[in-house]
Structure formats: C-alpha cells, structure tokens
Chain A
Amino acid sequence: MNDPTRRRFLFSTGVTSVVLSACGFLGATARYLSPNVLYEPPHRFPIGSPEEFPPGTATFLPEHRLFLFNNPAGFYAISSVCTHLGCNVRHIVGEGFACPCHGSRFDENGQVVHGPAPEPLAWFGLSLSPRRELVVNTRQPVQPEYRFRV
C-alpha cells in the first residue's frame, strides 16, 4: 500500500468515526433530555379494588385528582383537573362537570360545553393489577367511548 492510499484510508476512517461520534454525542444529549424516571408521583397507580366503587356511582379521588365512574358498560376515569387553570372540577349528576374557578362547563364525557376551558377533560386508561386492584395510567389517554370491564 503506498502513502496516498494509506492516507486516504486513515482520513476516511477518522472522518467516519468523528461524524459517527458527533451523531452519538448529539444522540446522547437528546437522550439526556428525557430521563428514564423522575422524582414524581407514579403515572400508574392502584386506586382500590373494583368492589369499592359501587355500580352507577362516580367517585372523586382527591389525592389522584380524578373521577372514577362505574357504569353498566364498565369503569372509566376522567381527570378532575380543569384544562383552563387547573382547578378541581365538580361533578353534577346528569349535567356534567363545572369548574368553580372560572365557570367552565363540561358534559358527562368531559367535552367542553362552555369556556374558558380550551380542551376537554382528560380520560385515563385503566387496568387490573394481579392483586385485583384497578390501576389508572395517566400516560395512557383514551377516547370517551372507553370502558373498562373487570
């Protein structure tokens, strides 16, 4: 192998490595921005056994800020956090939800009926833990048709 070929080979190896490393560096930096886990309340948490929520009721769980409904079709969970400024909304049977802070109104499915709330209330996915407890996942947004059957 003569000198020019060797130089070319070393040069291309170096350039490739540096480029790949730079990509890696950028990738690692980007990865760093989304940590594996944070010091925060879990986004999946058990709220109790299904029997604790009698059929046809809506239960407000203040520590988790959500309503749990048990309808004949199944269970579903709606956030109680108003999408306007984050007050806890009140549930009014047959009407929907009302925010006491600025008067936002939502229907039974959490859809905005009356401002100033810009978006409907969030719905959370449910599952059942091996210990037969309902588990809410706040990172699993679901559509208002969602019902969870035990």
Chain B
Amino acid sequence: MRTPQRASVRFHLAFAVLGVTFLAIFSWVFLKEYLAEWRTTQAQFDQLQRRVKDPHALSLAAPLGEIQQIWLPDLNRVDRCPTCHLGIDDPAFVSAPEPYTTHPGAWLRTHAPDRFGCTSCHGGQGEATDFRNAAHQPIPYWSDPMRSPQLIEANCGACHRERRPRQAVWLEKGREVIANAGCIACHDIPGFSLEELRAPRLESVGYKVRPEWLRTWLADPKAYLAQARMPNFRLEPPEIDSLSAFLLAQRETAPLDSAGIDWSKADRDRGRTVFGEARCVTCHRLEGRGGTMGPELTTVGSKVGRAWLFSFIKDPTHDQPGTLMLRYRFTDDQIRDLVAYLTEDLIDPGAPQASSEVRYVEPALIERGREAFVRHGCYGCHRFSGMVDLGKIGPSLLGIGDRAIEAADFRNAAVVPSRPNWLFLKLRAPDTLADQSRMPTFNFSEPDAAAAVVALLSIRRADLPVSRVTDQPRPVRYEPQGTFGALVARYRCLSCHQTRGWGGELSTVPLDRIGSQLQHAYLVSYLQLPSAVRVSLEERMPWFRMTREEARTLADYLAGVFVDDSLERPVPLDADAARRGARLYQTLGCRGCHSLGGTGGYVGPDLSDSGRRLKPGWIEAWLSDPGRWKPGTLQPNYGLKPEEARSLTAYLMTLSTDRSGSTP
C-alpha cells in the first residue's frame, strides 16, 4: 500500500508544479501585454496632459490606450512613433520631456506627419513600440537606425534631389564636394552628369607640359597645387615613368605657329600690364588671390611650354575645343609679352630642371603607359579620343545609402561598424579598406568627407513614388547661332553668365532680361571697356578688347531678345519725385551698401552713373521686390510703397557721372 501512495504523492506534486508553471506562463503573457512599455508611457502622458491642458482641450485630445500609427503604403512605411511621442504636434508640450515634447522648428508644418510619417526623415524602425527595437540609438550592424542630427539630412536628400536643397546645409555641401571631386567620372551617381567635369583633353598634351612638371604632378598633384582637383593615384615610380612617356607622346594637334615671334623683344612688364588689364584673375588664381574657374597660375612657367601657351592664348579652342577660356582680341605682340611674363616671372624656383639629354623612349614603355592610363580610369575625366566607350571604372552608387553593412569590410578599423562610418573611412583613405583599391586618394578634409557621406547616404534605391520627389529642372544647353552665337562662343559669355539656367555661375548677373535692365548705349561702351560697377569684386568682367562692331552686335541682340516685357514700362520721372527719392535714399540707409560719387559702401553696385546705365522700369521692379528677380540677393526687400519705389527710381535716373564730373 505504501508504494502506490508514494507514487500518488509524486504524481500530485508533478501535477501541481506543472499547473503552477502554466499559470506563471500565462500570467507573464498577460503582464507583458498590459504592462507594455507603450502603455506605461501613455499612462505617464495622461498625467502630464491633465496638468498641461484645460478640460476643453482634454476633451478633444486623442484617445489613449491604443497604438497610434501612420500608414504610408506608397512609402512602404508603418510608423507607430506617435504611440509614445504623443505631444509631437502640440505646442503645449514644448517644454515637456522626451518622448512627449513638441517637435522643434517648423518641420511638421512643411512635412505633415500623416503624409510623411516619422521614419522617412528620422530613420529607425517604425513598427516597433518600445525604445530599443525602434532603433533610437545606433546598434552595430543594424540596417537603418535613427539618424543622428549630423546625418539626418541624408534622409532629406532621398526626396529632395535638387543640387542645393534649402535648409540642408550639410547635404548641399556634400553634393558640392561630390561634384567638385569629379566622382561622376568613375561612378554612376544619380543626379550628377559627366558634363560637369572640366578636366583638360590630353590628345596634344605632349606639346603642352614640361616633362619634369608632369612627373611631379602624376606623383602627387597636391604637391604642385594645394587646390588641385586631380586626386592622388598613389602611382609607383615605374608607372609614373610609363604614364609620362605615354602622355608626352600625345601630339595630335600641333600648336599654332609662333615661329615668327621675336622673343628677344618680349617685355615682361608690359605682359604683366596686359595680364592685369585683361582681368585674368577673374578666373585664375595667382598667389592666393583670384578665381578658381581656370587653373592656378602662380608657377605656370614651370608647368607649360612657351610655344603651347602662345598658341593657347591666341586661340584656346585650338586643342581644347570645350574650354571655358575666352579668346581675347590680343595682338601677337601683346600675347608675346603676356607669355613672357607668365613663363619667366611665374615660375617655381624649386622645380626640377629640364634635363637636356635626349633619351630614346621605347614603344613598349608608351604601351605600358597607355595600359596604366586605362587601368586607373584616367579617361573618365580626361576624355580621350579612342577611349570613349570604355565605361566607368567604379561601381554605380545607386542605392549606396541602402547597401547592407554586413558586406562591408572594415579591416579592423576601430570604428562602430555602420554604413556612414565605412563611407567616411573609404573617402578619407580608400587604400586602408581594401588592398589594391583603384580609388585614388582625394585628401578630403574631415568636414568635407562627412558632408559627402551625408550626400552619399541620400542616394537610395530608386523606389520612391515620383510624387514624393522634388528636383530642379535640368537646364537645357543654350547654343545661340549666327553672328551673335559666334561672338558668344568666342568670348565665352556662358562660362560665367547664365541664361535660362544654362551657363556658369561666376557672374552675379543672369542674362535673361539684361536688355530690359541696361541701356543700349551703356551696353555698347561696357562691352568694349568694362568699367567696374562693383569695385570690391575680384571677379570682374574681362577686357575682351572687342571691336565696336562686335559690341554693337552683342548689344543689339541682347536689347532685342534678352528682354522682359513686364519691365519695359514708362516710369514718370518728375523733379519732385526725384527730390523725394533723394530723401528716401538717405533715410533708408542706401549709402551703407552703395556708393555715390566716391562715398558709400562697396556691397552693392556703384550708383553714380545709374541714370545712364539702368532702365527705369527695371529699377522700379527691382526695388519693389529684389528677391523675386534674384533669389539670395543682398538687397533686402524694404517693403517700399509703389510711390516710394517710383520716387527712388526718379532720383536714380538723375544720377550721371557726366553732370557730377566724378567717375566711378
């Protein structure tokens, strides 16, 4: 009897333990459900809103006790963030602690949460309803954690694909870094085009550069020029030998004949004067000053040969058909003096001397150089006849912002393994992340590399609905024909000026309505001899030395075609109005930025000659709303009444250097 009883006790014990275990499990399930993080968060918010809100506002508040979600099928997103971020769109919670606080800034006005959700901008896992799983903080190897404030603009860029998105400074800077570095030469990058590259053609480079310079340049472009756009390809000496042999053998187009030039008569001082008068510094940098559109010239004498330079200044398009450089109307003597100044004064005394010995160059060396040229993808930037369809050397960057981080090799770099960190390291030092990386070293500064990472992360897989994407219209190439077109091509107006969005960005004056802004007679004289309208600017219109005939042709066309009818309206210009305008000129403080007869500020154009320079309809329209004509202008909108704008116009139209006797 005892044994069955023992067994029975054991049986009862097991039964009880099992039952209690079951009970514990189910209690745990219910506790987990009803003490979920989001429920306690909502309970705390309820207490908070009872303190913050009045009874009426409380009665309108969203009901608690349920999961709030934003469902965006077109973005394939479900964001349950509002479950806990309950005060996000309510200004009453501006000083409440996280997660209840109000969203800063005006972002929710422009990006309504019910249309954009939360993770579109912030990243993270929208489905989660607890802090950890929502990926608020970076978790190693987590595919899409919440963006830190430094990286959040990458998500702006997924939709905002214009080159200069408003209010996204790092994204804008990053896109500029990518464009300037010429990444597009080797990688397909959505939003960037090969047309932006401005590297010289090399089919005739053998005539152009000095062999010693070429070797220094290939070894490290930044050693010759700190702002060099060409990156360092980490070439070994044998490669430098073969590449320079290959390049020096490129002699497709011989320079224009300068055999008749008597170099002994060259006057370097006269050349310096020509250099200054022509305003070469508008595009070329010299000892730290000047523009950056053209190559820097501080030591150009150690870089290029005399005969080539003579030919290039005489006709830049002779061997560089797409150059931005204009063709001045210099005499041969002027060019001779200029070349003498450039090649004899602007030299690097430390540069290696030319060796006089003539060396035999093996054809095999040249062939190896050609192979190196192709291997390093040089043809990506330097368009080379015979290498047009070789394809890009690097992988496409489409979707680089989504690429799985598991596939990235960090080579034991001591960083958090995240996509931004890998890109940052790759940009800064490509050779540390892969042996034999063909990507050159750009020597990006840390801020530049960080900005470029933001821009790269914004390049997602192209699966966004078109309605979500904003972009700027791509400008259409503008190539005028005829006499006018030939002059525009010769003087390269569109290297600096823009019309219909096409052209360079150096000039502050787009040409679209120039004929309605400036008087015809002024245009003719200005084109022949540009006088300084903004004396503080380094980058000013060059002195082309164009003929009166050419200037008239250009001015006629501009006055006839580049007009805006809304500006061609009469403005009553009576003496009374002009007097009132003169008083306004003083009380508004115009003199702070504009100068008149030699006194006043340098920010805006000199107004001393505005009566002979500007058209009254334009002045009035400009004063009424400057930002409408030129976004980002330094001329603020003063909110002038129409009568005031007319008075100021009448006053400005009385100003002329002829009468006052002073010159601008």
Which of B15-23, B332-340, B508-516, B622-630 touches A?
B15-23
What sequence of 0s and 1s flags, for each residue 1-43 of chain A, a beta carbon within 8 Å of any chain B beta carbon?
0010011001101111110110011011001000011011110
For A42, the chain B residues whose CB sits under 8 A away are 69-71, 114
Distance (Å) between the CB of B33 and the closest chain A CB? 7
Contact A39 B22, beta carbon cutoff 8 Å: no
Q: Which residue of B lies closest to A17 (CB)?
A: B19
CB-CB under 8 A for A21 and B22, given A36-B66, A45-B114: yes
- Chain B residues within 8 Å of A41, by CB: 71
Contact A131 B108 (CB under 8 A): yes
CB contact between B26 and one of A15, A25, A39, A44 (< 8 Å): that residue: A25
A7 contact from B8, B33, B71, B91, Cβ within 8 A: B8
Q: How large is the interface on B (under 10, 10 to 19, 20 to 34, 35 or more residues)?
A: 35 or more
> 27 pairs across A/B with beta carbons < 8 Å?
A6-B12, A7-B8, A7-B12, A16-B19, A17-B16, A17-B18, A17-B23, A18-B19, A18-B22, A21-B22, A21-B23, A21-B25, A21-B26, A24-B23, A24-B29, A31-B33, A37-B80, A39-B71, A42-B71, A44-B62, A45-B114, A129-B89, A130-B87, A130-B91, A131-B89, A131-B108, A131-B109
Do B30 and A24 touch (CB < 8 A)? Answer: yes
Report whether B23 and A11 are in contact in the complex, using a CB–CB cutoff of 8 Å.
Answer: no
Given contacts A18-B22, A130-B92, contact A11 B69 (CB under 8 A): no
- A15-B91 Cα distance, complex, nearest whole Å: 56
Contact with A along B51-81 (1 / 0, CB 8 A): 0000000001010001101110000001010
Contact residues, A98-145 vs B (CB, 8 A): 127-131
Kindly report which residue of chain B lies nearest to residue A148, judged by CB atoms.
B60
Closest to A45 in B: B114
Q: Is B13 an interface residue (CB 8 A)?
A: yes
Q: Report B465-511 residues with CB < 8 Å from chain A CB.
A: none
Tell me if A14 and B16 are in contact (CB < 8 A): yes
A27 → chain B, closest Cβ, in Å? 8
Indicate if B3 sits at the interface (CB-CB under 8 A).
no
Contact yes or no, B16 A13, CB < 8 A:
yes
A31 to B78 Cα, complex, angstroms: 22
Closest chain A CB from B74 CB (angstroms): 12
Instruction: Give every chain B residue within 8 A of A127 (Cβ-Cβ).
Output: 60, 62
CB distance from B70 to the nearest CB of A (A): 7
Q: Flag whether B27 is at the interface (Cβ < 8 A).
A: yes
CB of B355 closer than 8 Å to a CB of A:
no
Q: Tell me if B27 and A10 are in contact (CB < 8 A).
A: no
Q: Shortest distance in angstroms between A55's beta carbon and chain B's nearest beta carbon?
A: 21
Interface residues of B (CB under 8 A from A): 5, 8-9, 12-13, 15-16, 18-23, 25-27, 29-30, 33, 60, 62, 66-67, 69-71, 78, 80, 87, 89-92, 108-109, 112, 114
Supply 16 further A-B pairs (C-beta < 8 A) apart from A21-B19, A42-B71: A10-B15, A14-B20, A17-B18, A17-B21, A18-B18, A24-B22, A24-B26, A24-B27, A37-B69, A41-B71, A45-B114, A127-B60, A129-B89, A130-B87, A130-B90, A131-B89
Q: Which residue of B lies closest to A126 (CB)?
A: B60
CB closest chain-A residue, reference B60:
A127
Q: Distance (Å) between the CB of A52 and the closest chain B CB?
A: 13
- Contact present for B78 and A39 (CB under 8 Å): yes
Known: A28-B29, A31-B33, A37-B66. A17 touches B20 (CB 8 A): yes
**Which residues of chain A are near B109, meaning CB under 8 Å?**
131
CB-CB < 8 A to B112: which residues of A? 46
Residues of A close to B19: CB separation below 8 A: 13-18, 21
* Chain B residues whose C-beta falls within 8 Å of the C-beta of A6 in the assembled complex: 9, 12
A7 CB contacts on chain B under 8 angstroms: 8-9, 12
* Minimum-distance CB pairs A-B, first 6: A17-B19, A24-B26, A130-B90, A21-B22, A10-B12, A14-B15
Determine how close the nearest CB of chain A comes to the CB of B75; give it in whole angstroms: 13
Q: How far is the CA of A128 from the CA of B62 in the complex (A)?
A: 9
B114 near A46 with CB under 8 A, answer yes
Please tell me if the beta carbons of A10 and B16 are within 8 angstroms of each other in the complex. Answer: yes
A39 to B67, CA, bound (A): 12
A135 to B628, CA, bound (A): 37
In whole Å, how far is A94's beta carbon from the nearest beta carbon of chain B?
32
B16 to chain A, nearest CB (A): 4
Closest residue of chain A to B80, judged by CB?
A37
Question: Of A14, A15, A36, which contacts B67 at CB under 8 A?
Answer: A36
Q: Which residues of B contact A21 (CB under 8 A)?
A: 19, 22-23, 25-26
| B9 & A3 in contact (Cβ 8 Å cutoff) | yes
Taking the closest CB of chain B, its distance from the CB of A61, in whole angstroms, is 13
Given contacts A3-B9, A28-B26, contact A13 B20 (CB under 8 A): yes
- Residues from chain A with a CB closer than 8 A to the CB of B91 are 130
**Among A27, A40, A130, contact of B89 (Cβ-Cβ < 8 Å):** A130
Bound CA span A128–B13, Å: 60
| Chain A residues near B22 (CB-CB < 8 A) | 17-18, 21, 24
| Nearest chain A residue, comparing its CB with the CB of B21 | A17
How far apart are the CA atoms of A112 and B637 in the complex, in Å?
Answer: 59
A36 partner residues in chain B, CB cutoff 8 A: 66-67
Residues of A within 8 Å of B89, CB to CB, are 129-131
Residues of B within 8 A of A28 (CB): 26, 29-30
CB neighbours (8 Å) of A130 from chain B are 87, 89-92
CB distance from B468 to the nearest CB of A (A): 16
Known contacts A11-B15, A31-B33, A130-B89: does B71 contact A20 (CB below 8 Å)?
no
Distance (Å) between the CB of B10 and the closest chain A CB?
A: 10
In the complex the two chains form, what is the Cα distance from A24 to B9 in whole Å?
A: 27
A39 CA to B80 CA in the complex, in Å? 11
Task: Tell me the complex Cα distance, A45–B30, Å.
Answer: 31
The smallest C-beta distance from B210 to any residue of chain A, in angstroms, reads: 68
CB of A14 within 8 A of CB of B9, answer no
Pair A20/B23 contact, Cβ less than 8 Å: yes
How far apart sit A127 and B61, CA to CA, in the bound complex (Å)?
8
Q: Which chain A residue lies CB-closest to B108?
A: A131
Given known contacts A37-B69, A44-B62, A11 and B16 CB-to-CB distance under 8 angstroms: yes
How far, in whole Å, are A10 and B19 apart by their CA atoms in the complex? 10
Interface centre among A21, A27, A41, A127 (most CB of B within 10 A): A21
Q: Closest B-chain residue to A137, C-beta based?
A: B63
Chain A residue numbers with a CB within 8 Å of B70 are 42
Contacts of A27 in B (CB 8 A): 30
Identify the closest chain B residue to A43 (Cβ).
Answer: B66
Q: What distance in Å separates the Cβ of B182 from its nearest Cβ neighbour in chain A?
A: 45
- Which residues of the partner chain B approach A39 to less than 8 Å between Cβ atoms? 71, 78
With contact pairs A13-B20, A130-B90 given, residues A40 and B71 touching in the complex (Cβ less than 8 Å) = yes
CA distance A15 to B16 in the complex (A): 7
Who on chain A is nearest to B109 by CB?
Answer: A131
Bound Cα distance from A27 to B31, whole angstroms: 13
Cα of A131 to Cα of B19 in the assembled complex, Å: 53
Max chain B CB contacts within 10 Å: which of A18, A28, A46, A130?
Answer: A130
- Which residue of A7, A17, A42, A46 has the most chain B CB atoms within 10 A of its CB atom? A17
B108 proximity list for chain A (CB < 8 A): 131
Question: Who on chain B is nearest to A16 by CB?
Answer: B19
